[in-house]
Chains A and B, each alone.
Chain A
Amino acid sequence: MDDDEAKEQFLATYDEFASDIFRFCLLKVATREIAQDLTQETFMRYWQQVREGKGVENDRAFLYTVARNLIIDWYRRKKDHSLDALAEGGIEFASDDHRSITQNAEVREVLAVIDKVDDDAREALLLRFVDGLSPKEIASITGDTANAVSVRLNRAIKKVQELMHIHD
């Protein structure tokens, strides 16, 4: 595969997964600009793998793993008061494409529910039901066993069901 083909394939991978990775980052860092930076960094590192000839067995899992590690590094660099400020400010998800008020309200509603489950459970829920990853793929990203992910998902689902009854 020559340079042009490699680049074409790289950009095709970007087209396929950029929004998923961005969303994954946004729901953890709460700011669009930071989420975009992390997304960019994730794909830059993916390109480094490609150009160095290091095989990537599962592009999607690799991207999520890199993004997750970058987010962990980002958290380490932030001080506690900054995280509190982010939590207070809520997720900045308004973008420049003028989504409808209804769409934004629906997103807020979902976030209000899943915000009440713990971080690991929320992450598993989103990866499974929003991004469509299998428990095995999630396990490869988080470093857990597939079994542990399945258990976590079951518990998270029960919790969400309880919360939704409360919302009803």
Chain B
Amino acid sequence: MTNFNPTFLKRLKDLGLSHNEHLALRERLAAYADLHPGIAAPATANGFFVFLSTRRFATYAFSFLLVLGVTGGVAAASEGSVPGEALYSIKIHVNEPLMTALAATNVDQAKVAAKIATRRADEAVTLASRGELSAQNQQYLSQEFTKSVAKAADRANKLAESGDTVAAANVQADFAANLAGEAQALGALSNSQTDGQRAATEKMLATVVSTSESVAPDDAGAATAVTVSAVANEDAASTTLTESEAASSTGALKNRSYFRTRFAQHLHVTASTTLKSIFQSQNISNFKTDTAIPAQTTEGGDQNDQLDVRVSE
């Protein structure tokens, strides 16, 4: 083979980040690192820090705090904390691992996983309501929310595969309803925010909707396997996966489709063209409902900007 001169390929080195882009991204990553303190050396694996994330540590930490007599107040106070607050680290690194560690049954574990996922969305709602949902917080919460939803879906699927498909369906139904509530809250908040705040809120909303949507597979066959028989109304409790359907489900596919259907049914959002574009970009426009969506005008908008979300029956 003749010698190959790669000089011309090296011109592609010009396609890097610009100076400003490099600095801006560096700043975001530095903020992310501050929000997620790490103390392990990059080059060596340190088992102690792996231990910090285990269930055993969570139990020891709780016991230690009990001895100090500070657990009740600190743990309780940390429950309401959000990213950027001093007690948030306790909420994430002590309370939640402890919740997981103390979940004895498969059902409890599925419920806890779903609860933790919902908390991330709820924290975004809290921050957005205070006008404090920064781009960094939104990116962090979006990422953690996506991971948590995947874990929750995994727990629910394991529960279904263990044979308790009805319990799995119930956990997913509650999860879907809670997430829809968070999505509605984000949607409502975004309508009342200034442009600067709205961008972060809408990104978080898009994450909640698209991640919740992605819990179900892209398999159209699985989606049609679930029969939703009740009439769509404000209380979707009457819409259930029947025992025979649950029992006949192949793997977890039908349960995931059930989640998606329940999520969409619970999602009664008030008007926003931005939400409409988010839904359309996520291919959620195929959902249809005959429940009337109240019209709402946003400042500067008009009543033609109505979101028409419908759920199929």
A residues with a Cβ closer than 8 A to B are 1-3, 6-7, 9-11, 13-15, 18-20, 22-23, 26-27, 32, 36, 39-41, 43-44, 47-56, 59, 93, 95-97, 99, 103, 106-107, 109-111, 113-114, 125-126, 128-130, 154, 157-158, 160-161, 164
Contact = CB atoms under 8 A, between A and B. Distances in A.
Contacts of A161: 2, 4
Interface string B6-20: 101111111111111
- Chain B interface residue count: which class? 35 or more
B44 interface: yes
A6 B34 CA distance: 11
Contacts of B18: 95-97
A8 to B, nearest CB: 10
A89 to B, nearest CB: 16
Contact of A97 (B4, B19, B40): B19
B42 interface: yes
A23 B15 contact: yes
B73 interface: no
A18 B4 contact: no
Interface stretch (B47-55, B79-87, B126-134, B180-188): B47-55
A10 B8 contact: no
Contacts of A52: 38, 40, 49-50, 53
Contacts of A164: 8
A114 B33 CA distance: 37
A102 B47 CA distance: 52
Given A47-B33, A110-B9, A99 B42 contact: no
B238 interface: no
A85 to B, nearest CB: 14
A23 B16 contact: yes
Interface in B27-78: 28-30, 32-34, 36-50, 53
A1 B42 CA distance: 9
A105 to B, nearest CB: 10
B15 A2 contact: no
B143 interface: yes
Given A18-B22, A26-B15, A47 B29 contact: yes
